[in-house]
Structure 1
Amino acid sequence: MKATVLLTKKLTGFWLLSLVAMAFIFLLTAVFSVMQLTYKQQQQQVSQLSAILSQHQTPAQLQQLDLWLPQLLWAYQAQQFVLTRQNDVLYRYDNPLPERRVIRYGRAILPATPITSLSATSDQAELRFELSLPRPLQFNQISGYGGLILLLGLTAIAIFVRWGYLWLAQQLEGVEDLAKRSHLILSGDYDKALAERGHGRPRLINRALTQLLLELDDAQKQRSRFDQVIRSNTFLDPATGIGNRLFLKNRLDALSNNQGMFAPGVLLLLEMEDLDLLQQEHDELAVQEMLSHTINDINQLLNNYANSIFSRRSYNQFAIVVPQISLADVEKLVAKLLKVCLAQPLEGLVNRDDFFHIGVAYFKVGDSKEQLIEEAEMALRAAQFQGASGWFMYDKGAVDEEFARGSVRWRSFLEYALVNKRVVIYSQAVLDSDGVEHHREVSSRLRDSKGNLVRATLFLPMAIKCGLTPQIERQVIEAVLFDLLGSNPQNTQRYSINLSLDTLTSRAFIRWFKTTLLEYRNLAPKLIIEVNEDIVVNNIEQLTPTLNMISKMGASLCVDRVGQQVVSMQYITSCKFDIIKLHRSIVRQIHLRQENQLFVRSLIGGLYRSEVQVFAEAIESFEEWQTLKILGVSAGQGSLFSDPVQEI
Structure 2
Amino acid sequence: MKFTRMLTTKLTSFWLMSLAAIAFVFLLCAMMSFVQLTYKFQQQKVAELETLLIEHYHTQPDWELESWLPPMLLAFNAVEFRLTMKSEVLFAYQGNVQTQNPMVYTHLLDPQSGLSMTLSLPQPFDHYSISWYELLILGVGLLAVIALVRFGHIWLSQQLDGIEELAQRSRLILQGKHEQALATPGNGKPRLINRALTKLLEELQDAHKERGRFDKFIRSNTFLDAQTRIGNRLFLNNRLDALSHDQGMVAHGVIYLLEMDDLDFIQQAKGEGAVKDLLHATVNGINSILQSLPNSIFARRTHNQFAIVVPHVSLIEADQLASKLLKVCLSQPLPDGVDNRDNFYHLGCAYFTAGDNVNQLLDEADMALRAAQLQGNSNWFMYDKGAIDEEFAKGSVRWRSFLENALVQRRFYPFSQPIMDSDGVEHHKEIFTRARDNQGALVRATLFIPMANKCGLMPQIERQMIERVLVLLGQEQHKGQVYSVNLSLDTLMSRAFTHWLKTTLLEYRHLTPQLIFEVSEDIVVQHQDKLQPKLDMISKMGARLCVDHVGQQVVGTYYIRECHFDMIKLHRSIVRHIHLRPENQLFIRSLIGGLYRTEVLVSAEGVEVFEEWQTLQILGVGMAQGMYFSDPVELQ
SS at match of 2:56: coil
Q: Structure 2 unaligned segments of length 5 or more: list them.
A: none
Task: Name the aligned partner's letter for residue 533 of structure 2.
Answer: P
2:485 is the alignment partner of 1:497: yes
State the shift of 1:560 in Å.
0.7
Cα distance change of structure 1 residues 104 and 203 upon mapping to structure 2, 3 Å threshold: same
Between 1:623-632 and 1:522-531, the stretch displaced more is: 522-531
Partner residue, 1:108? 107
Q: State how 1:164-243 maps to structure 2 within 5 Å.
A: 164-243=152-231
SS at match of 2:439: coil
State the shift of 1:473 in Å.
1.5
Task: Name the aligned partner's letter for residue 498 of structure 1.
Answer: N
2:301 is the alignment partner of 1:301: no
Instruction: List per-residue Cα deviations over 1:388-414 (Å, max 9, x = no partner).
Output: 222222236463331221222211211
CA distance in 1, matches of 2:98, 2:389: 122
Q: State how 1:151-550 maps to structure 2 within 5 Å.
A: 151-282=139-270, 284-350=272-338, 351-395=340-384, 397=386, 399-482=388-471, 484-488=472-476, 491-550=479-538
Cα distance change of structure 1 residues 410 and 158 upon mapping to structure 2, 3 Å threshold: same
Cα distance change of structure 1 residues 155 and 93 upon mapping to structure 2, 3 Å threshold: farther
Between 1:127-136 and 1:217-226, the stretch displaced more is: 127-136
State the shift of 1:547 in Å.
1.5
RMSD over aligned Cα, in angstroms?
2.6
SS at match of 1:63: coil
- Does the aligned pair in 1 maintain the 2:266–2:275 contact within 8 Å? yes
1:577 to 565, 582, 588: 565
The sequence identity of aligned pairs, in percent, is 59
CA distance in 2, matches of 1:468, 1:608: 39
Cα distance change of structure 1 residues 35 and 312 upon mapping to structure 2, 3 Å threshold: farther
SS at match of 2:129: coil
State the shift of 1:341 in Å.
1.4
SS at match of 1:497: strand
CA distance in 1, matches of 2:325, 2:13: 78
Task: Name the aligned partner's letter for residue 290 of structure 2.
Answer: L
CA distance in 2, matches of 1:298, 1:561: 23
CA distance in 1, matches of 2:315, 2:62: 146
Partner residue, 1:31? 31
SS at match of 2:505: helix
- Does the aligned pair in 1 maintain the 2:568–2:602 contact within 8 Å? yes
State the shift of 1:11 in Å.
3.9
- Does the aligned pair in 2 maintain the 1:556–1:577 contact within 8 Å? yes
State the shift of 1:307 in Å.
0.4
- Does the aligned pair in 2 maintain the 1:12–1:169 contact within 8 Å? no
CA distance in 2, matches of 1:127, 1:492: 104
2:544 is the alignment partner of 1:556: yes
State the shift of 1:13 in Å.
3.2
Instruction: List per-residue Cα deviations over 1:26-84 (Å, max 9, x = no partner).
Output: 33333233323333343344344434443332261773556665676677665555443
2:617 is the alignment partner of 1:624: no
Instruction: List per-residue Cα deviations over 1:563-598 (Å, max 9, x = no partner).
Output: 101112121122221111100011011111111111
CA distance in 2, matches of 1:433, 1:94: 109
Instruction: List per-residue Cα deviations over 1:523-572 (Å, max 9, x = no partner).
Output: 22222111111111111121122212222222221111111011121211
CA distance in 1, matches of 2:92, 2:333: 138
State the shift of 1:287 in Å.
4.2
Cα distance change of structure 1 residues 515 and 387 upon mapping to structure 2, 3 Å threshold: same
Partner residue, 1:50? 50
2:612 is the alignment partner of 1:613: no
CA distance in 1, matches of 2:562, 2:504: 26
State the shift of 1:599 in Å.
0.9
- Does the aligned pair in 2 maintain the 1:4–1:179 contact within 8 Å? no
- Does the aligned pair in 2 maintain the 1:251–1:564 contact within 8 Å? yes
Partner residue, 2:85? 85
Aligned length: 635
Q: Structure 1 unaligned segments of length 5 or more: list them.
A: none
State the shift of 1:463 in Å.
0.9
- Does the aligned pair in 2 maintain the 1:365–1:400 contact within 8 Å? no
Partner residue, 2:621? 633
Task: Name the aligned partner's letter for residue 616 of structure 1.
Answer: A
Task: Name the aligned partner's letter for residue 344 of structure 1.
Answer: Q
1:135 to 92, 117, 124: 124
Cα distance change of structure 1 residues 59 and 425 upon mapping to structure 2, 3 Å threshold: same
Between 1:163-172 and 1:196-205, the stretch displaced more is: 196-205
CA distance in 1, matches of 2:137, 2:414: 86
State the shift of 1:520 in Å.
2.0
Task: Name the aligned partner's letter for residue 506 of structure 2.
Answer: L
State the shift of 1:487 in Å.
3.0
- Does the aligned pair in 1 maintain the 2:343–2:376 contact within 8 Å? yes
Cα distance change of structure 1 residues 528 and 143 upon mapping to structure 2, 3 Å threshold: closer
CA distance in 2, matches of 1:27, 1:298: 95
Task: Name the aligned partner's letter for residue 544 of structure 1.
Answer: Q
Task: Name the aligned partner's letter for residue 574 of structure 1.
Answer: E
State the shift of 1:132 in Å.
0.9
Between 1:466-475 and 1:269-278, the stretch displaced more is: 269-278
- Does the aligned pair in 1 maintain the 2:247–2:358 contact within 8 Å? no
CA distance in 2, matches of 1:355, 1:92: 150
Cα distance change of structure 1 residues 5 and 230 upon mapping to structure 2, 3 Å threshold: farther
TM-score, length-scaled by structure 1? 0.91
- Does the aligned pair in 2 maintain the 1:53–1:109 contact within 8 Å? no
CA distance in 1, matches of 2:12, 2:175: 28
Task: Name the aligned partner's letter for residue 56 of structure 1.
Answer: H
CA distance in 1, matches of 2:231, 2:62: 132
CA distance in 1, matches of 2:305, 2:76: 125
Instruction: List per-residue Cα deviations over 1:328-347 (Å, max 9, x = no partner).
Output: 11111111111211222224
